[in-house]
Amino acid sequence: MAFDDVAVKNVARPLTPYLRADAEGQGSAMQQLEPDKFTNNSISTRHDPSPMSQQTQSPLFRLPAELRNEIYTYLLCPDALSPAQLAHQTKTKDLSVRGFNQTSTPTSTPLSPAILSTCQRIHIEAHPLLYTTPIFHAHPSLLTSLPHLHTPARPVLYPRVASQIRRWQISLRLDTDPRFSAQQAAAAFSGAEYLEIRVWQAQFEACDWSVLRLFVGVRGVRRARVGGSVDAELAAWLEGVMMGPLGQMCECGVDDERWLGRREELCGQCFRKVGGSCG
């Protein structure tokens, strides 16, 4: 294993707000941030009306916040990448051939979400990991509304938790009309930690890349990737645009011929390229 790979794997993951407060020595910060979380009636469900335990004396809480964060990550999202791993993946992950129309993320790693029900403090410390660390699939029409992690059949329904998602992947067809505007794309993805756009088409070189023009207004993305059925130079240019500073708007390139691609002209009778022989 290369030294760089070892270094990437050993980089600490960012802490949730409550673990960060604990690591900085602010022992009562959790109560100050959300005091209602520690009341007896704060966390309960319709099926289990009994109040969640306020346990605070577990040996788990005597561990450093960074170590607790690693334990929570292992139980709730073991396949999630740290920021350093995510940056490393953006340099090595090939989006040009395989999986460009991927809309689900298969996983065989067992999760243990039951730990969130053990006590209020664990729930408060750990639950943000469920939404801030995995890469969620954006809806091809609704964008950041109804995103999903593993299958479109089980989307995230509540905007309150969907707003915590910072890592996105979206798969779009180039040969169909988009159902969102450039303004909606900018509002949905600007400021994201990671944005991966995969584009595809049913027939090779049968359409242009104008769908990608809707993402020219996206800004402030920490890591952006564009791949699939798209020119490599255009993809690299759009990645740089989306990783530009928030508030920096520029119209150059919006009406550029680069979006036209290399569209084929087909015969209306034989559906072969114009210039060939109709048979």
**For residue 44, pLDDT beyond 50:** no
- 127 and 226, same domain (yes or no): no
**Number of residues that this document lists for the chain:** 279
- 157 and 118, same domain (yes or no): no
Q: For residue 47, tell me if it sits in a domain.
A: no
**For residue 164, pLDDT beyond 60:** yes
Q: Please state, as a whole number, how many other Cβ atoms lie within 10 Å of the Cβ of residue 13.
A: 19
- 144 and 117, same domain (yes or no): no
Q: For residue 263, tell me if it sits in a domain.
A: no
Tokens of 118: 């053990």
- 129 and 1, same domain (yes or no): yes
**For residue 17, pLDDT beyond 80:** no
Structural domain of residue 69, as residue ranges? 1-41+52-92+111-133
Q: For residue range 180-229, list pLDDT tens digits in order.
A: 999 999 999 999 999 999 999 887 776 888 899 999 999 999 999 999 98
Q: For residue 101, tell me if it sits in a domain.
A: no
Q: What percent of the chain has pLDDT over 90?
A: 39
Q: Which residue has the higher pLDDT, 162 or 18?
A: 162
- 127 and 174, same domain (yes or no): no
Q: Which residue has the higher pLDDT, 19 or 33?
A: 19
- 128 and 219, same domain (yes or no): no
- 120 and 162, same domain (yes or no): no
Find out whether 216 and 186 touch, Cβ atoms under 8 Å.
Answer: no
Q: For residue 103, tell me if it sits in a domain.
A: no
- 73 and 147, same domain (yes or no): no
Q: For residue 273, tell me if it sits in a domain.
A: no
The pTM assigned to this predicted structure is: 0.71
- 121 and 139, same domain (yes or no): no
pLDDT of residue 250: 62
**252 SS3 class:** coil
- 208 and 250, same domain (yes or no): yes
**For residue 167, pLDDT beyond 80:** yes
- 140 and 244, same domain (yes or no): yes
Q: For residue 174, tell me if it sits in a domain.
A: yes
What's the number of domains the chain is made of? 2
The predicted model gives 72-93 an average pLDDT of: 79
- Quote the Cα angle for 15-16-21, to 5°: 85
Instruction: Please state, in angstroms and rounded to a whole number, the distance separating the CA atoms of residues 136 and 15.
Output: 19
Q: For residue range 110-161, list pLDDT tens digits in order.
A: 788 899 998 889 999 999 999 999 999 999 999 999 999 888 999 999 999 9
pLDDT of residue 34: 47
Contacts of 149 (CB under 8 A, 6+ apart): 105, 134, 136, 137, 156
Q: For residue 201, tell me if it sits in a domain.
A: yes
- 140 and 128, same domain (yes or no): no
Instruction: Please state, in angstroms and rounded to a whole number, the distance separating the CA atoms of residues 150 and 137.
Output: 8
Q: For residue 275, tell me if it sits in a domain.
A: no
